[in-house]
Structure 1
């Protein structure tokens, strides 16, 4: 479909993308309603609107080569500087437990959805494998599983469109649940209570503005942060490429090992968390890393909304949207029912489900936007754990379903 801005007009697309992110951050820090929604979701919705009104294309080199190729990998080590395992482990026990319950729900949703819709959607077992990885881990797992099961470009594209539109709706539903009186009656919610008692900051700022207040950041800090991130990504890519070349393929187990250990994101996460854990004092002095990493993630959120063409969904992937929707609903059912049975707080349940479906960045972003600051680190950590197990579980599901 022809768009007002072509996919090759990189500078204009970058202007729109960076402008949308700037507006999203401004609104988040200026208005309470926007802070509640979060700037990340606002950026995603703006991209969705721009795509479906024919202003920007659903795919472009800027999205894949710049954002996916550079911004996302660099964001992970910067954001994981706070992931000190020794410090956070005590706080993640409950969140990790409900996250694993949600992961079981994701697997059940994939199996049930394939059983119900498999006869009507060619290649659905491959989609089930990809979405299992994505809805336990994230985009890296989706990509790895698409390659592992040799999913065709059309199938991958249709699944991506269905997934992104589904995600946009899902985030809004989670935010609505956090503010819903019924859910607040059924579940305990100490973090929400604390926010309501404290309100906005003393200066009248929104929660986001208070959290992202001005900090002591120097040119040296930015130089060290970016150098660190680039070094981590470079080493990770070298390790992943080396292991991918060493580990043979031939059966599902070897293919799984090759895919897992050959993923740069696995090693980016491992190296980042090792550094944050064993060099905690040095990591604490790297000012500005969270700000730079979060900005990159806002660009990522914009790009997430780009493939969500509603017309393309209606033409090519209506049943795939239903399939993804079913997986999300069952994940949420497991999280909320399991959370009630084991007496989890509403905030834990929401963030665990978010970490499943959206990944660590969306979960941390929601925790920040809602003012649940004590849950930012744990939600990031359990979401990152999803990266570790997502590909493994996706390959198991795909293999069982005949992908």
Structure 2
């Protein structure tokens, strides 16, 4: 039975206009209004798309959405990794990187623990474990990559996104509140908080998204290189992954895991881009606009995953998924706070690293700006960028591991 909607599934131009228009509107709202910045443009786009679909304005299934999954998502990943120079990340953000990796281990432990607690209640939970491990080590970019890697219904992905973002909203509230809680102020070092205690909140905190995405110079050459190189990286990675996936056998646990890793195009995209960014830093580091274009493409993806989210599915499925996401985040936070305290990391470093884990570089930088922790803005961005790289490895490893346990 063909779905009856105001915009027909074969009206490609109208659907692309709606997808890109919602993405643009979400970014505008996020950068203009404090309430929208707190909600995040990704959630705004998802909710608008969900409303349009539930009110039968746009279809829930169309080849246009498949194009976003098949082409837009893979292209976004290398664009967001052009600045992933491993040498620079380590040199300029060593302390944050160390505690960030510790937080990543906490995320993986939480994903495994949650899996064993809830696997009898949530079908195909190992796939969601891989997705959320990747997401809670590198942010939404890794969620996108892992969602496309693990074959799962779009309805469940939408429900997971809703659960994930509700969980993150609660988590960010807790994270922002921790510096003012006496227990943490008493038991952790916090030099930046002490330094700013006499200073009021920075004006930039009112428009965190706008501060992060400030204007920069960009040329036609920048745009051409960003798009052209990304297409080349994805084409090579897709071909290589298909070849490796076909020649590596799956006779035992080790080979099956190796096949899942080396036969994954997102892992190859990540690795190839990282190598290029590290060994050709002057070239890739000077391509302006790559992160902006890549982020806009990710916003289109968030609009698309909001489309098939039925209200009934969210009510019936999201509570357990919310619990699973909460388990991961709680273990991440407890683990990173415990190890951070043990090795005498500052409270600000621990919180920014945890934010980089769960939300990615954008939310971590936004928090550093909002709190006035200026020395941690760049480390937050660099650590979060590292998360784009290692999050995919962790996510695919955990998903494949749990699938055969």
Q: Does the TM-score normalized on the shorter chain lie above 0.5?
A: yes
- 1:373 matched to which residue of 2? 377
**Partner residue, 2:44:** 42
Q: Name the counterpart of 2:14.
A: 12
Aligned residue for 1:138, secondary structure, equals: helix
* Pairing 1:170–2:167 present: yes
Q: CA deviation at 1:288?
A: 2.1
Report 1:1-400 matches (<5 A).
5-51=7-53, 55-66=57-68, 68-121=69-122, 124=125, 128=129, 131-132=132-133, 135-136=136-137, 138-144=143-149, 146=150, 156-157=153-154, 159-180=156-177, 185=182, 186=184, 188=190, 190=192, 199-200=202-203, 206-315=207-316, 319-345=320-346, 348-350=349-351, 352-357=353-358, 362-370=359-367, 371=369, 373-374=377-378, 375-400=380-405
Question: Structure 2, unaligned stretches of length 5 or more?
Answer: 370-375
Q: 1:169: how far off?
A: 0.4
TM-score, scaled relative to structure 1 = 0.79
1:2 Cα deviation from its structure 2 partner: 6.2
Contact 1:79 1:289 survives alignment (8 Å): yes
8 Å Cα contact 1:339-1:345 kept in structure 2: yes
Counterpart CA distance in 1 for 2:342 and 2:49 is 38
Query: How big is each residue's C-alpha offset from its partner over 1:84-135, in whole Å with a ceiling of 9 and x where there is no partner?
Result: 1111113444444444444444444444444444444555556556655555
Contact 2:159 2:317 in 1 (8 A): no
RMSD: 3.6
Distance in structure 2 (CA, Å) of the matches to 1:183 and 1:3? 50
Deviations 1:246-286 (A, max 9, x none): 21221221121112111111121122112211111122332
Partner of 1:150: none
Could you tell me whether the CA contact under 8 Å between 2:76 and 2:297 is conserved in 1? yes
Secondary structure of 1:334's aligned partner: helix
**Which deviates further from its counterpart, 364-373 or 337-346?**
337-346
Deviates more, 1:186-195 or 1:339-348: 186-195
For the structure 1 residues 33 and 138, does the alpha-carbon distance in structure 2 shift closer, same or farther, using more than 3 Å as the test? Answer: closer
Structure 2 length as normaliser, TM-score? 0.79
Matches of 1:207 and 1:46 in 2, distance apart? 22
User: Which deviations, in whole Å up to 9, do the C-alpha atoms of 1:140-179 show, x marking residues without a partner?
Assistant: 34554x46xxxxx6xx456424421211202312332343
Q: Distance in 2 between matches of 1:84 and 1:197?
A: 35
What are the Cα deviations for residues 311-355 of structure 1, in whole angstroms up to 9, with x where unaligned? 113446654554444334433443444445445455554554455
Shifted more, 305-314 versus 14-23: the winner is 305-314
Q: For 1:317 and 1:207, how far apart are their aligned partners in 2?
A: 29
Q: How many residues align?
A: 385
- With over 3 angstroms needed to count, the CA separation of the structure-2 counterparts of 1:123 and 1:236, relative to structure 1, is closer
| Alpha carbons 1:80, 1:272 under 8 Å: kept | yes
